[in-house]
Amino acid sequence: MNEIRIFSPATVANVSCGFDVLGFCLDGIGDEMVVRISKNKGVKISKIEGYDLPIEAHLNVAGVSAQALIDDAKPDVGFEIEIYKKIKPGSGIGSSSASAAGSVVAINELLGRPYNKTQLTYFAMMGEAMASKSYHADNLAPGIFGGFTLVKSVEPLEILELPTPHNLYAVIIHPQIEIKTSEARALLPQKVNLKDATVQWANVGSLVHALHTNDYGLLSRSLNDIIVEPHRSKLIPFFDEIKQQTVKNGALGTGISGSGPSIFSLCEGLESATNIEKTMRDIYKTTGITFETYVSKINEDGIKVI
């Protein structure tokens, strides 16, 4: 096989309480990439469609993560990457992560799968770190493993795959403004209050338990973030209204997707999700801000060869 085309899905990181550790994978929303073997060693980005992004491999997260894999594998060939970008950069649904993860998964396939998913996440983290200026894998892991994941540790990298409750749906509203992950990280406090930390880690633990036990009530009571959300929500127009109305109308919980501006809700069943999408649209329709909404099942496959 000399060439491969993949679908690299969008992802929701943090899932409210789990800053930098929890994430899940979306269905139907994502980028496509074509990666082919080339006689010229190293990595070249030969085409980018959809958004204006650096074509230089060392400035593009797809190139940086590919180079990290190549430095380790030292193959006798090189790789050419085409990126068909559908996820707007700075969206909060893992735009940079989709490219970073997609390139290493595709190269691994072309090389006959020498690496496991955790090793691939590690290489992808090198690319993701260039965009966000920090080492985090909470978008990469659900993209590569599918479903819900928990990044137990970054160094050494350890990823836990969590179960997806039956009939769980995500709804996303993406206001078309850009929030750079690096900037949304820079405004977070370096120290947290012990009382707040106690509430937050209880929520992470109970959210994980709720996923394992299909307990929608507990899931709903766990979807709270008292540490990061208060700082970042100010950057997202009408965040409080969206949160209030979606929860009132039956969402299990609503929070910032990744570093924003996207907002996500989790819902039990498609009917509830469709209703929550309408709630979100009704609020944003009156604001004059351009937006997109998506209803998505939780994608248990992650990145797929197409």
Ligand X SMILES: Nc1ncnc2c1ncn2[C@@H]1O[C@H](COP(=O)(O)OP(=O)(O)O)[C@@H](O)[C@H]1O
- Paired with 10 in beta bridges are none
Site for ligand X in 220-259 (CB under 6 A): 258-259
Residue with tokens 């570093």: 259
What are the phi and psi torsion angles at 193 (to 5°)? -70, 140
Cite the beta strand spans of the chain per DSSP E.
3-13, 22-38, 42-49, 78-84, 148-154, 157-162, 168-175, 253-256, 263-268, 291-297, 304-305
* Nearer residue to ligand LJ64HWYM within complex by CB, 164 or 262: 262
Instruction: Give Dmax over CA atoms of the chain in angstroms.
Output: 58
Choosing from 8, 67, 103, 181, the residue that interacts with ligand LJ64HWYM (CB under 6 A) is: 181
Question: Torsion angle of alpha carbons 128, 260, 293, 87, nearest 10°?
Answer: -20
The binder of 138, among ligand X, ligand LJ64HWYM, none, by C-beta within 5 to 8 A per type, is ligand LJ64HWYM
What does 241 bind: ligand LJ64HWYM, ligand X, none (CB cut-off 5 to 8 Å by kind)?
none
Question: Residue 181 catalytic?
Answer: yes
Q: List the catalytic residue out of 32, 80, 128, 268.
A: 128
Query: How far apart, in whole angstroms, are the C-alpha atoms of residue 171 and residue 82?
Result: 29
Which partner, ligand LJ64HWYM, ligand X, none, binds residue 61 by CB below 5 to 8 Å per kind?
ligand X
Measured from the CB atom, the residue of 5 and 180 that comes closer to ligand X is 180
Catalytic residue among 11, 121, 164, 181: 181
Q: Does 95 bind ligand X (CB under 6 A)?
A: yes
Q: Which is nearer to ligand LJ64HWYM, 80 or 138 (CB)?
A: 138
Q: Report if residue 93 touches ligand LJ64HWYM, rule: CB under 6 A.
A: yes
Q: CA 152, CA 258: separation in Å to the nearest integer?
A: 17
Please identify, among the stretches 57-65, 112-120, 136-144, 204-212, the one whose residues bind ligand LJ64HWYM according to the rule CB under 6 A. 136-144
Contacts with ligand X: how many residues (CB under 6 A)? 21
SS3 per-residue string spanning 27-70 = EEEEEEEEEEEECCCEEEEEEEECCCCCCCHHHCHHHHHHHHHH
Phi-psi region of 96 (alpha: psi -120 to 50; beta: other; left: phi over 0): alpha
* Near ligand LJ64HWYM by CB under 6 A: residue from 92, 143, 175, 255: 92
Active site residue 149: no
How does strand 78-84 pair with strand 3-13?
unpaired
Residue 155: which H helix or E strand, with range? Answer: none
Residue 4 binds which of ligand X, ligand LJ64HWYM, none (CB < 5-8 A, kind-dependent): none
Q: Which residues pair with 169 in a beta bridge?
A: 267, 297
Nearest-approach distance from CB 136 to ligand LJ64HWYM, in angstroms: 5
Contact residues for ligand X, defined by CB under 6 A:
53-54, 60-62, 83, 89-92, 94-97, 99, 131-132, 180-181, 258-259
- Catalytic (active-site) positions: 128, 181
